[in-house]
Amino acid sequence: NAGVTQTPKFQVLKTGQSMTLQCAQDMNHNSMYWYRQDPGMGLRLIYYSASEGTTDKGEVPNGYNVSRLNKREFSLRLESAAPSQTSVYFCASSTRREGGYTFGSGTRLTVV
């Protein structure tokens, strides 16, 4: 099915471990985003990529790195996980700045 695919769906990490969240879209969208969702707060932008080869920081980038591998794929890396990074992470893509959004199904990450 066309859309945004995120892996894994669930992950438990120990403090200090690293991991990469994968995201791929097959809609030929230029823009891709990583958001985190925490209880009692709206989704917050971590990083975004307006086009292949470019990435920019969002509202809460500390502790994360990203890679726009090609037009389809945008990965999020936690180099040294901390309990404060326990959250649900969503990848999204859109056609252009004013375009509609498509979200992935989310990754529920717990750091212990």
**Closer CB to other proteins, residue 14 or residue 97?**
97
**Closer CB to other proteins, residue 17 or residue 30?**
30
Shortest Cβ 90–other proteins spacing (Å): 6
Shortest Cβ 16–other proteins spacing (Å): 28
Which has the closest alpha carbon to 3: 77, 74, 105?
A: 105
**Residue ranges binding other proteins (CB under 8 A):** 31, 33, 35, 40-45, 48, 50, 56-59, 90, 92, 97-98, 100-106
Residue with structure tokens 């990965």?
A: 75
The alpha carbon dihedral of 68, 26, 45, 7 has a sign of: negative
**Closer CB to other proteins, residue 75 or residue 102?**
102
